[in-house]
């Protein structure tokens, strides 16, 4: 008997209870930083040092936080299901909680690549992506090809090369679970719409979310509590 497939679409809310800021909640990252300055292609061109500092700060903070019960319950789904985690998050908490198949749509904070290696629809050769762990990267730090290192992040204004893969995974899922995303940034926000007609869709979020169609079940709780309810529903 083949295992059922679950696609788990996560955003910053799944890491909130680990102590990582979300982007758009009160006090979120975009309340304190202008995303166009620290997380866009233009920002990188204009002031790469500021962008490097922003991600150095995120990487340093990641060193001191731990996965929470929501990450762990998502990882434990793998005992019963084939689980594809498709996250907008750039943190490594899903992996550290034990999830073995994680697709990072917006890149990964612990990774860097030469700035001339473009994040276009052709993607980029993974051999040019380096994991620096939680260490800082500065102007003048270069890849082996002699080019300045940049964050391995999908900046605003850049293509999302893993979108096709993500669409495929969602369309194959028997169950779709959305956890902790305001669904405001496309194309990631439109991903759940590729769910097959027969697949139930659940969303875990303490806030009011626009229920786009009647089949969506809204578990209106924080991720650690909502995941306990979700597991009971399976």
Which residues carry out catalysis? Answer: 106
Binders of ligand APR among 2-31, rule CB under 6 A? Answer: 11-13, 16-17, 22-25, 28
Q: Which stretch binds ligand APR (CB under 6 A): 92-100, 139-147, 166-174, 200-208?
A: 200-208
The 77-96 contact track toward ligand APR, x by CB under 6 A, reads: -----------x--------
Kindly write down the DSSP assignment for every residue of 65-96, as one continuous string.
----HHHHHHHHGGGTSEEEEEES--SSHHHH
Query: What pairing do the DSSP bridges indicate for beta strands 107-114 and 149-153?
Result: antiparallel
**What SS3 class is residue 149?**
strand
- Residue 86 or 185: which CB sits closer to ligand APR? 185
**Is the distance from CB of 92 to CB of 64 less than 8 angstroms?**
no
- Residue 14 or 143: which CB sits closer to ligand APR? 14
**What SS3 class is residue 173?**
coil
> Within 10 A of 142 (CB to CB), how many other CB atoms are there?
12
Instruction: Return phi, psi of residue 219, to 5°.
Output: -90, 100
Residue 150 near ligand APR by CB under 6 A:
no
Q: How far is the CB of 157 from ligand APR (least distance, A)?
A: 12
The 180-199 contact track toward ligand APR, x by CB under 6 A, reads: xxx-xx--------------
Which one of residues 106, 111, 113, 162 is an interface residue with ligand APR (CB under 6 A)?
A: 106
Taking each helix axis from N to C end, the angle separating 69-76 and 223-233, rounded to the nearest 10 degrees, works out to: 20
- Residue 106 or 113: which CB sits closer to ligand APR? 106
d(CA 75, CA 84): 10
d(CA 174, CA 37): 40
Residue facing ligand APR at closest CB distance:
13
- Residue numbers of the site for ligand APR (CB under 6 A)? 11-13, 16-17, 22-25, 28, 35, 88, 106, 180-182, 184-185, 204-207, 222-223
């Amino acid at each position: 008997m083949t295992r059922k497939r679950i696609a788990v679409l996560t955003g910053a809310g799944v890491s909130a209870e680990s102590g990582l800021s979300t982007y758009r909640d009160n006090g979120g990252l975009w309340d304190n930083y202008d995303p166009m300055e620290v997380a866009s292609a233009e920002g990188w061109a204009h002031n790469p040092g500021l962008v490097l500092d922003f991600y150095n700060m995120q990487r340093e903070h990641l060193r001191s936080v731990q996965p929470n019960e929501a990450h762990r319950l998502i990882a434990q789904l793998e005992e019963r299901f084939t689980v594809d985690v498709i996250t907008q998050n750039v943190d490594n908490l899903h992996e550290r909680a034990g999830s073995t198949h994680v697709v990072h749509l917006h890149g990964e904070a612990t990774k860097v690549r030469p700035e001339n290696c473009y994040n276009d629809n052709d993607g980029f050769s993974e051999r040019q992506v380096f994991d620096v762990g939680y260490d800082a990267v500065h102007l003048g730090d270069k890849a082996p090809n002699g080019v300045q290192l940049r964050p391995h992040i999908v900046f605003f204004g850049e293509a999302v090369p893993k979108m096709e893969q993500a669409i495929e995974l969602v369309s194959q899922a028997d169950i779709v679970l959305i956890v902790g995303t305001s669904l405001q940034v496309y194309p990631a926000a439109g991903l759940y719409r590729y769910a097959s007609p027969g697949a139930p869709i659940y969303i875990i979020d303490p806030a009011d979310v626009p229920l786009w169609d009647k089949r969506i079940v809204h578990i209106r709780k924080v991720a650690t509590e909502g995941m306990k309810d979700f597991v009971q529903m399976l």
